Amino acid sequence: MAACQVHLAVKANIGSSHGGSIHTIRAVAVPPDKQRVAMPAVSTSIPSSVQSQLVLMRHGESMWNDLKLFTGDVDIPLTEKGVNEALAGGRAVSEIDFDIVFTSRLVRAKQTALIAMTQNKFKRVPVLVRGGFYGKGKTGDANRIRLRDAAAKALETASCRMVPIYADPALNERCYGDLQGLNKTAAIAEFGEETVTKWRRSYDTRPPNGESLQDTYARSVGFFTATIEPRLKEGRNVFLVAHGNVLRCLISHLGGYSDLEMLRLQIMTAMPYAYTYNGNDFAECCILPPRDDENHVLDNMPLGISSVLKKGELDSLI
């Protein structure tokens, strides 16, 4: 445990003086509906030799977050507050040398990743690689292919340090279907309070033309295990910027949380959640507190991932 604490103090510029907490992932029984997605081994102790780091971050505040509307997979940009949150979150992880960045296809996640990387002390220049990690997408579009080729060449030949950003729809926010664009009051007026509550607070119920949290879990965790975990096994440090429900799924997957615990996770905007990985096991390390423009830790920030497991109200609006 001490070895990991020293490592994080060097890599993330945090420690006990800033209220950082370090603890291992706890084992929780996995429901049968989640067992189809391979779970990583659960660590009972923090390894003395850390090979790679994983940081998860929700995007900064979007314009529909500000208006308290169901956003889902509608492509809405950041507010000015969201930009400042992305800068603060970037400063929190500025001493981690990221080798690869993953985001959703939605602009608010891409904006957050790009803005956060401007604060990185290793001065890697982020480059968006068209077509995602596997080069799929509109392969018939000659301009997209040219842009992908240009990004690939830049990654290999540029006279500055670069870091690729790969966007994938598997990391998009949960689709709220017919709720998207409505606020809570309007949704209740149209569909009824009991129905809206069930859509929002259940694990396996879909709103009309939308996804359940279970659907989001299957695609986001499936992408994580197939694409991101192998990069960590290669010893790469990974920065993943996505959305509230996607991070609920990934944090629950890594921690073995129950469905109810997943629903109670309140994922703050632009708050980095850090893990270490030794090639086999993930260890939950801490939340890295966002910092202001003078590099001071912002006030009233939670101290560890366990502190965002709220035991009462399940009323977050993503």
Strands 272-277, 100-103: parallel, antiparallel or unpaired by DSSP? Answer: unpaired
Residue 261 is assigned to a ligand binding site: no
Which has the closest alpha carbon to 162: 145, 170, 150? Answer: 150
DSSP 73: T
Residue 72 is assigned to a ligand binding site: yes
* 32, β-bridge pairs: none
Residue 262 is assigned to a ligand binding site: no
Q: Catalytic residue numbers? A: 59, 173
Q: Decide: 245 and 216 in contact? Cβ < 8 Å.
A: yes
Residue 284 is assigned to a ligand binding site: no
- Name the residue with tokens 């006990």: 16
Residue 279 and residue 313: Cα distance in Å, rounded? 37
Instruction: Pull the structure tokens for residue 314.
Output: 């399940």
Residue 60 is assigned to a ligand binding site: yes
Residue 219 is assigned to a ligand binding site: no
Instruction: Please name the residues in contact with 253: beta carbons below 8 A apart, sequence gap of 6 or more.
Output: 34, 37, 39, 217, 221, 224
Residue 201 is assigned to a ligand binding site: yes
Residue 64 is assigned to a ligand binding site: yes
Residue 201 and residue 184: Cα distance in Å, rounded? 13
Residue 173 is assigned to a ligand binding site: yes
Annotated binding site: 58-65, 71-72, 108, 173-176, 184, 200-201, 244-245
Q: Which parts are annotated binding residues for substrate?
A: 58-65, 71-72, 108, 173-176, 184, 200-201, 244-245
